Amino acid sequence: MTTVGILGGGQLARMLALSGAPLGLRFLVLDTAGDACAGQFAPMVVGDYTDQAALAEFASKVDVATFDFENVPAESAQWLAQRVPVFPSPRALAVAQDRLAEKTLFRELGIPVPQFADVPTREALDAAIAAIGTPCILKTRRLGYDGKGQFRLKSAADADAAWAALGAQAATVGLILEGFVRFERELSVVAVRGRDGEFRAWPLTENWHVDGVLSASLAPAQTDAALADTAHAYARKLAEALDYVGVFALELFCRDGELLANELAPRVHNSGHWTIEGSETSQFQNHLRAVLGLPLGDTRMLGTACMLNWIGQMPGAAPVLAEAGGHWHDYGKSPRAGRKVGHATLRAGSANELAAALARVGQALGRDAQVAPVIERLG
Ligand code: ATP
Ligand code: MG
Ligand code: MG
């Protein structure tokens, strides 16, 4: 009996556990919150990620460890890695935890990035604004997610407000200034690399965000094949450079037909949730296969798929369940503003059928605005 340990017990851990059940796997989740939603399907150790006793108990009970939460302190990941195999490696995790380190690596690998600069001080912010221009975005280097820890500057006159919002964090998690990219599209590559170096990627996905939080994903992205090939080549180069094991997502902006890398998520990713029903092998299943050294599954698509995120509270399931290709995921969380509580995936045999299903669901749930950009793209 193999036990997979997961650091972090949110919906990603929950979907990993659900996906691993047919493989006969056991799971153990470490989370700071006793009511973490993965705990409904897996035993838990409750404790802080820096708590030696909790880490020691976790390490003693698992055969391999992986992450649902990318901000586990690098030292904790390293401590664990001395006791049990940890995938992805603490080094890959450390790079992906720091926007400055990841963007520097992207650039070294020849992967284009938005303009960026380290901002250790207030003076450095002025210098960075002068160098990069406006509009731009000040972000924390570490610990940001769902658009948190970001401040958008329209002009240099916003520097004081930006510093008031985030300046205190320059000395703790660090700050980075990025040029604001007027992109036509946001895309992501969700890919997996095995312990033996085998690399597979799912078709390129297009993503729409609202207030910095993912709202909808469409796969395959309606782009030309050359763009998808370039995106996949970037993902592969990155995975090889980091000797990455497991699933990851590379978030990309497409501006004037060119790709710019935004960030690397060192884990299964929200923009890959459609793979549960939309692909021969889901990202969750392939992540488990990768970290266990099992053969990777085929990443081909089964039709066209759109994932809709449910933020704050769950809508009624019936309109989605009434669709032939409708699939429902309720993470079992209590409602809270801005919280990811569930998602739906609609799968269809053609773009037209998918657009029609999205229109029906959007109308029935009063979510026309959420489905509109996807329907427009499906044309
Ligand atoms: P995630 O939940 O994806 O981890 P995050 O908090 O790490 O989010 P980012 O991915 O950096 O944050 O930013 C969230 C969203 O804000 C992006 O998906 C994009 O829509 C927008 N955004 C971020 N950086 C830029 C930029 N430089 N130019 C334009 N838009 C941006
Ligand atoms: Mg992020
Ligand atoms: Mg992001």
Q: At 267, give phi and psi (nearest 5°).
A: -175, 175
How confident is the model over 5-22, as a mean pLDDT?
98
Q: d(Cα 230, Cα 270) in Å, to the nearest integer?
A: 22
Q: Residues 293, 277: contact at Cβ < 8 Å?
A: no
Asked whether residue 262 is marked as a ligand-binding residue, the answer is yes
Is residue 40 situated within a structural domain?
yes
User: Total structural domains in the chain?
Assistant: 3
- The answer, yes or no, to whether residue 147 has pLDDT greater than 90, is no
Matching residue, tokens 């592969």: 236
Q: d(Cα 181, Cα 179) in Å, to the nearest integer?
A: 6
Let me know whether 130 and 210 are in one domain.
no
Is residue 197 situated within a structural domain?
yes
Q: Residues 201, 140: contact at Cβ < 8 Å?
A: no
| Amino acid identity, position 156 | A
8-state DSSP, 313: S
Let me know whether 174 and 190 are in one domain.
no
pTM (two decimals):
0.97
Angle at 287 between CA 282 and CA 290, to 5 degrees: 125
pLDDT at 332: 97
Instruction: Quote the ligand 1 centre to 26 CA distance (angstroms).
Output: 34
pLDDT at 297: 98
Is residue 367 situated within a structural domain?
yes
Let me know whether 122 and 225 are in one domain.
no
Output the domain CATH number for residue 71.
3.40.50.20
Let me know whether 247 and 364 are in one domain.
yes
- The answer, yes or no, to whether residue 187 has pLDDT greater than 90, is yes
Let me know whether 165 and 120 are in one domain.
yes
pLDDT at 145: 86
Is residue 55 situated within a structural domain?
yes
Which residues does 369 contact at the CB level (< 8 Å), separation at least 6? none
pLDDT at 14: 98
The residue among 179, 198, 229 that closes a domain is: 179
Is residue 110 situated within a structural domain?
no
- The answer, yes or no, to whether residue 146 has pLDDT greater than 90, is no
Query: Which of 68-85 are b and which e, b meaning 16 or more Cβ less than 10 Å from the residue's Cβ?
Result: bbbbbebebbebbbeeeb
pLDDT at 246: 98
pLDDT at 105: 98
Let me know whether 175 and 263 are in one domain.
no
CB neighbour class for 241 (10 Å; exposed up to 12, middle 13-18, buried from 19) = middle
Nearest ligand to the C-alpha atom of residue 139: 1
Asked whether residue 186 is marked as a ligand-binding residue, the answer is yes
Let me know whether 238 and 366 are in one domain.
yes
pLDDT in tens, 120-141: 999 999 999 999 999 999 999 9
Q: Atom 26 (ligand 1): residue with closest C-alpha?
A: 180
Q: Atom 13 (ligand 1): residue with closest C-alpha?
A: 147
**Looking at ligand 1, which atom is closest to the CA of residue 137?**
27
Let me know whether 217 and 232 are in one domain.
yes
**What residues make up the domain containing 127?**
115-179
pLDDT at 369: 98
Q: d(Cα 128, Cα 115) in Å, to the nearest integer?
A: 10
Percent of the chain with pLDDT over 90: 98
Instruction: Band the pLDDT of 272: cuts 50, 70, 90.
Output: very high
Is residue 95 situated within a structural domain?
no
Let me know whether 150 and 175 are in one domain.
yes
- The answer, yes or no, to whether residue 12 has pLDDT greater than 90, is yes
Instruction: Quote the ligand 1 centre to 108 CA distance (angstroms).
Output: 21
What are residue 138's DSSP bridge partners? Answer: 151, 177
- Give how far Cα 22 sits from Cα of 9, 18, 180, 285, Å: 20, 8, 44, 10
pLDDT at 240: 98
- The answer, yes or no, to whether residue 43 has pLDDT greater than 90, is yes
How confident is the model over 47-65, as a mean pLDDT?
97
Let me know whether 161 and 190 are in one domain.
no
Would you say the CB of residue 181 lies under 6 angstroms from ligand 1? yes
Percent of the chain with pLDDT over 70: 100
Is residue 102 situated within a structural domain?
no
Let me know whether 231 and 368 are in one domain.
yes
- The answer, yes or no, to whether residue 350 has pLDDT greater than 90, is yes
ipTM for the predicted complex comes to 0.98
Terminal alpha carbon distance of the chain: 49
Is residue 364 situated within a structural domain?
yes
pLDDT in tens, 293-307: 999 999 999 999 999
The residue among 34, 69, 86 that closes a domain is: 86
Q: d(Cα 129, Cα 321) in Å, to the nearest integer?
A: 49
Let me know whether 190 and 175 are in one domain.
no
Asked whether residue 145 is marked as a ligand-binding residue, the answer is yes
Provide the CA 23 distance to its chain's centre, in angstroms: 24
Would you say the CB of residue 146 lies under 6 angstroms from ligand 1? yes
Output the domain CATH number for residue 253.
3.30.470.20
The residue among 130, 154, 179 that closes a domain is: 179
pLDDT at 83: 97
Would you say the CB of residue 199 lies under 6 angstroms from ligand 1? no
Would you say the CB of residue 180 lies under 6 angstroms from ligand 1? yes
pLDDT in tens, 83-115: 999 999 999 999 999 999 999 999 999 999 999
